[in-house]
Chain A
Amino acid sequence: AQSVTQPDIHITVSEGASLELRCNYSYGATPYLFWYVQSPGQGLQLLLKYFSGDTLVQGIKGFEAEFKRSQSSFNLRKPSVHWSDAAEYFCAVGGGSNYKLTFGKGTLLTVNP
Chain B
Amino acid sequence: DVKVTQSSRYLVKRTGEKVFLECVQDMDHENMFWYRQDPGLGLRLIYFSYDVKMKEKGDIPEGYSVSREKKERFSLILESASTNQTSMYLCASSPPAADTQYFGPGTRLTVL
Contact = CB atoms under 8 A, between A and B. Distances in A.
Interface string B38-80: 0011110100101000000010000000000000000000000
B97 interface: yes
A43 B42 contact: no
Given A90-B43, A105-B42, A99 B31 contact: yes
Interface residues of B, number: 25
Contacts of A98: 98
Contacts of A32: 98-99
Interface string B77-111: 00000000000001010101111111111101000
Contact of A46 (B31, B42, B90, B100): B100
A97 B97 CA distance: 5
Interface string B18-47: 000000000000010000000011110100
A100 B98 CA distance: 6
A25 to B, nearest CB: 13
Contacts of A46: 100, 102
Interface string A92-113: 0011111111011110000000
Interface residues of A, number: 24
A81 to B, nearest CB: 22
Given A42-B106, A90-B42, A49 B97 contact: no
Given A97-B98, A105-B41, 19 more contacts: A9-B40, A32-B98, A41-B106, A42-B105, A43-B90, A44-B43, A44-B92, A46-B102, A90-B43, A96-B97, A97-B97, A100-B45, A100-B48, A100-B98, A101-B98, A101-B101, A103-B42, A103-B43, A105-B42
The 9 lowest CB-CB distance pairs between A and B, nearest first, are A94-B98, A105-B42, A43-B103, A44-B103, A103-B43, A43-B105, A32-B98, A99-B98, A43-B106
